[in-house]
Amino acid sequence: MSEGQDDKKLTLGHGTLQLKKTVDTGQVRQSLSHGRGKQVVVERKRKRILTTDSPQQPEKPAEKPAPVKPAPEPVAEHLTSDEKAVRARALEEAHKLFHEEEARRAEEEARRSEAEKRAAAERALREAEQEAPPPVIEDTPPPVVELEPQPLPPAKPAKPAERRAITEEEGLKGRKRSQAPARTPGGRKGEPRRRSGKLTVTQALGAGGEERQRSLASYRRAKEKQRAAHQKALRETPHKIVREVVVPETITVQELANRMAERATAVIKALMKMDVMATVNQSIDADTAELVVAEFGHKLKRISEADVEVGFLGPEDNPEDLRPRPPVVTIMGHVDHGKTSLLDALRETDVASGEAGGITQHIGAYQVTLHSGDKITFLDTPGHEAFTAMRSRGARVTDIVVLVVAANDGIMPQTREAIDHARAAKVPIIVAINKIDKTGADPDRVRQELLQHEVIVEKMGGDVLDVEVSALKKTNLDKLGEAIVMQAELLELKANPDRPAEGAVVEARLERGRGAVATLLVQRGTIQVGDILVAGAEWGRVRALLNDRGQQIKQVGPSEPVEVLGLSGTPLAGDSFAVVEDEGRAREVTEYRQRQLKMSHKPTARASLEAMLGKLKEAKTNELPVVIKTDAGGSSEAIVGALEKLSTDEVAVRVLHAAAGGINESDVTLAKASQAPIIGFNVRASAKARQLAEREGVELRYYSVIYDLIDDIKAALSGMLAPEMRETMLGNAEVREVFSIGKAGKAAGCIVTDGVVRRGARVRLLRDDVVIHEGELSSLRRFKDEVKEVKAGTECGIALEKYNDIKVGDVIEAFEVEEVARTL
C-alpha cells in the first residue's frame, strides 16, 4: 500500500458523500532464517482528525496533541442542501469538542496552580516552625517552670556499607533541592539542633547512643495542660480584691453591699451572725457597717453624709468683682390692703384681675423699670394668715420690705406678722400708707399705731421712710420708687455676675405641656440656657428661661426673677438653688437631699410607755383623710399648714398626699383606697381621672379661695365630733314611805319638793347626799293612776327600774340628758 493511499482524507467527490475506512490492510514479506520467507497480513488503524486543506503536520510522540480549532472549508457551490446541513453539523460538533477541550485544560491548570500554592504555603509554615523558638506562655502566679528541649548528639557519618546507590531520578531531585536555600533544623543560632526526617524504631528506642528529643507538639500540649490547671485553681480560689468602702453615718444594706461589690444576701447573713435582723432596704449605723466591712476584708472610710454638700455653694466673691445690682423688694401687709393693686400700678398691668376672689394665692416675682431707669425687683406675697411661711421666705430673700397699710383700716393682725418677719430677716422697712383717697382715711392714725410696734417713721422722729400713696389714683408712686432707690443706695447692694448662678426658689408648680416650672430669684452669678441646675432635692438641665412677662431670654443676672423649665420635679418654695458643673454632681447632691427628706418624714421612736399611751389616744381619734392637689407648691404647703391647725385631740385631718399639679388617675386610686375626698385648689381633674372618680365614687371638690376650703373642712371635722351630752335638772322628790308591791318589788311614797318629776326621766337616788343609784323611772303614779308628770308640792308614788333598796329619807333626783352638736 502506498503512502499516498495512507493519507487519504474525508472528501466529497462525484456529488456523493463517501467515508473512507479507518483500517488499512496490506501484506508484507517476513524474512526468516536460512533464506526462508513468509507473507504476513498487516492492518493499520488511523485516528480520524478533521483538519484544514493545509498539509498535515507529523505528530510528536512525546507531547500530547493540542486541539486545533477547525477552520471553515470553502463551501462548494455544487453541494446540495442536505450535504450542506451535514457539513454544518460536523463543523458544529468540531467546535464543541474544541471548547470542551479548552475548558478542561484551563481547569487542570487552575488545580495545578492551586496545589502548587498550597504546597508552597505548607513548606513555608514548616520552615517557620523549625526556625522559630518554642512559644513561651506568660502567666500570672503561680510561676511556671519553663521546659528547655534537650540538645541532640552530633550526627554520626554514615558508613560506606550503609550508603545506597543513588538513582538518576534521585540525583535530579537532589540537584533541585540543592538550588533552594539551606535550612538549619536547630532554629536560631546557639539553640540545640532539632531532629529532621522520619523517626525510625531505632531512634525511638534510643539505640545507637542517640537520645530522643521532645517534639514541639508535646511541648505545646504540656503548656496547655499547665495553663488549664492554673486557671482552674484561680476559679476555685479567686483573688480577693480589697476595696476602700466609704460609709456615712447611716447606710442601707443594699447600698453597703453595692459599695463592697458583694451579694446582698451575703451581707444579710453576716448581719444575722451579729444578731442584727435587717432587710436590704433597712438602714444600719456606721458602727455596724464597720463590723460588716471588716468581716468581708475591706477597708473602711467613715465620712459624714453631709460632706456631699461641701462646696455646693461657691466661695465668697472678691470685692473687686462685685457690681451694683437692683434691690429686691417684698410687698407685705394685711389682706385687701392693696398690695397687688399697688404693684399693678407700678407695673402698669392688671395682675389682681387674674386672682380668684381678688386675693393673691401664690408668690409673684416681677421687675419694674422706673422712669429714672432704675430697676426694682418686687416679690408680691399673699396677705392671708395661711401664707405665713411663704411671707417668711419672702423676707429671707429680700433686701427691703414695703409694708402696705390701708389708711382707713390701720394696723391689722397680718400687718403685725409682716413687721415681725421683717425684723427677723433684719431688713429695712418702708411704710406705704395706701388708700389715702378713701373716706375716713387717716394716715396720722396709722403712724400712731405703728409706734406701738416700735416702727417710728420720719415724721414721728424715727428713721423709717413712709409714703402716702393711692394705688387706685396712682398718687405718689414716683415718691415710693424714689424712697426704694434711696434706701437701696444706703445698703450698697452688689453682686458678682461672672460666676455660676445661686439663689432661692420663690415658687414651683406643675403645668401641662411644660412640666415643672420654678420661679427663681438669682442672688449672685448668671444662669444660662443649658446649665445644670440643682434646686432643693430636684435637678435638671435648663431648657428655657422666661422673664416676668413670659418672654424667652438667654441668660439672667443677679436680682432678676425668672421662670425655669427643665427640672425633674417641683422643689419647695424657699429652697436654695445653684448651678453645678456636671450631672454626676447634681445626682449626688439631690440623692442625699431626698434621703434626708425621707428620714425627716419618718416618726421618731418613743419609749414603750409613751408609745402605748399614744396608741390608746390615737385609737379614739377620728381622722379625716384628704388628698390635696394645688396649682403651686407654696399653696399646697399653706393649705396643709392651715388644716393641721384645725386638728384636735378628738378629730384630725390626715393629708394622704399633697402636691402641685392636676388631679390624675393615681390620685383617685389613692383616695379610693382610703375613702378620702380629693380637694383641688385652682386645678381640675383630667377626663380619665374624672371618669374613674365617678365610677369609684370618689368625691372631687374644687376651690379657688382658701377661705371656702378651710370652712368646709372645719364643718366636716365638726360633724365628726362626738355630740355633747347636756344634763337638765327637772326636780327632786323626798321619800316619805316605802311600800311592797308584790313581785314588782318596792315603791316609794314621795312628795315633790321642787321642780317636776316626769315619767321616763332619768333619776338618781341620793342617801345622805351620796349617789347610790342612777337609773330610770319604771312607774309614776298619782293615787292609782299613771301620770306623765308630778309638780312640786304634790304627793306621788315612784318605782325605780330594777332597784328596790329604797329607804325613808332618801331623795330622788330627776333629770334629762340631751345631745348638743359640737363645733370646732
Q: Tell me the three cell numbers of residue 309.
A: 454638700
Helix 687-696 × helix 665-674 angle, to 10°: 20
User: Do the domains 326-492 and 502-601 sit in the same CATH topology, yes or no?
Assistant: no
Q: Which of 358, 360, 336 is nearest to 413 (CA)?
A: 336
**pLDDT tens string 456-496:** 888 888 888 889 888 888 888 888 888 998 988 888 888 98
Report which listed range, 148-152, 385-389, 433-437, is most confident.
433-437
According to the model, what pLDDT value does residue 672 have? 83
Examine residue 382 and say whether the peptide bond preceding it is cis (omega within 30 degrees of 0).
no
Enumerate residues 6+ apart whose C-beta is below 8 A from 699. Answer: 677, 678, 693
Q: How would residue 117 be classed by pLDDT, with cut points 50, 70 and 90?
A: confident
Helix 264-273 × helix 253-260 angle, to 10°: 110
Print the SS3 string covering 633-702. Answer: HHHHHHHHHHHHHHCCCCEEEEEEEEEECCECHHHHHHHHHHCCCEEEECCCECHHHHHHHHHHCCCEEE
- Which CATH number does the domain 326-492 belong to among 3.40.190.10, 3.30.365.10, 3.90.1310.10, 3.40.50.300? 3.40.50.300
Question: What SS3 class is residue 418?
Answer: helix
Q: How many residues appear in the chain?
A: 824
According to the model, what pLDDT value does residue 506 have? 83
Q: Which residues of 680-698 are buried (b: 16+ CB within 10 A; e: fewer)?
A: bbbbebeeebbebbeeeeb
Q: Tell me the three cell numbers of residue 39.
A: 507473507
Greatest pairwise CA separation for the chain in angstroms:
202
Give yes or no for residue 292 having a pLDDT over 70: yes
Bridge partners of residue 406, in order along the sequence: 434
Mean pLDDT confidence for 331-357: 70
According to the model, what pLDDT value does residue 250 have? 78
Lowest mean pLDDT segment, chosen from 361-365, 515-519, 525-529: 361-365
Spell out the alpha helix ranges (H) of 401-497.
413-425, 443-451, 477-491
Question: What SS3 class is residue 320?
Answer: helix
According to the model, what pLDDT value does residue 640 have? 87
Q: Which CATH superfamily is domain 608-720 in?
A: Translation initiation factor IF- 2, domain 3 (3.40.50.10050)
Give yes or no for residue 548 having a pLDDT over 90: no
Q: How far apart are CA 662 and CA 462, in angstroms?
A: 50
Q: Tell me the three cell numbers of residue 350.
A: 392688671
Q: How far apart are CA 310 and CA 541, in angstroms?
A: 22
According to the model, what pLDDT value does residue 507 have? 82
Mean pLDDT confidence for 193-221: 66
> Quick one: CA dihedral 539, 540, 544, 550, positive or negative?
negative
Fold of 724-820: Elongation Factor Tu (Ef-tu); domain 3 (2.40.30)
Give yes or no for residue 79 having a pLDDT over 80: no
Per 3-state DSSP, the chain is made up of helix, strand and coil in percentages (nearest 5) of 35, 30, 35
Which of the 8 DSSP states describes residue 168? H
Q: How far apart are CA 542 and CA 552, in angstroms?
A: 12
CATH class of 502-601: mainly beta
485 vs 24, which has greater pLDDT?
485
**pLDDT tens string 598-648:** 776 544 333 344 444 454 444 445 788 899 998 887 788 888 888 888 887
First to last CA, the chain: 152
- Identity at 660, one-letter amino acid code: A
> Quick one: CA dihedral 437, 440, 442, 446, positive or negative?
negative
Q: Are 520 and 537 in contact (CB under 8 A)?
A: no
The set of long-range contacts for 695-698, using a CB threshold of 8 Å and a minimum separation of 24, is: 696/668, 696/672, 697/672, 698/668, 698/671, 698/672
Boundaries of every domain in the chain: 244-303, 326-492, 502-601, 608-720, 724-820
Helix 388-396 × helix 633-646 angle, to 10°: 130
Q: How far apart are CA 217 and CA 162, in angstroms?
A: 32
According to the model, what pLDDT value does residue 332 have? 83
Q: Are 519 and 496 in contact (CB under 8 A)?
A: no
Q: How far apart are CA 489 and CA 422, in angstroms?
A: 19
Q: Are 361 and 382 in contact (CB under 8 A)?
A: yes
Burial class of residue 504, CB neighbours in 10 A (0-12, 13-18, 19+)? buried
Give the pTM.
0.48
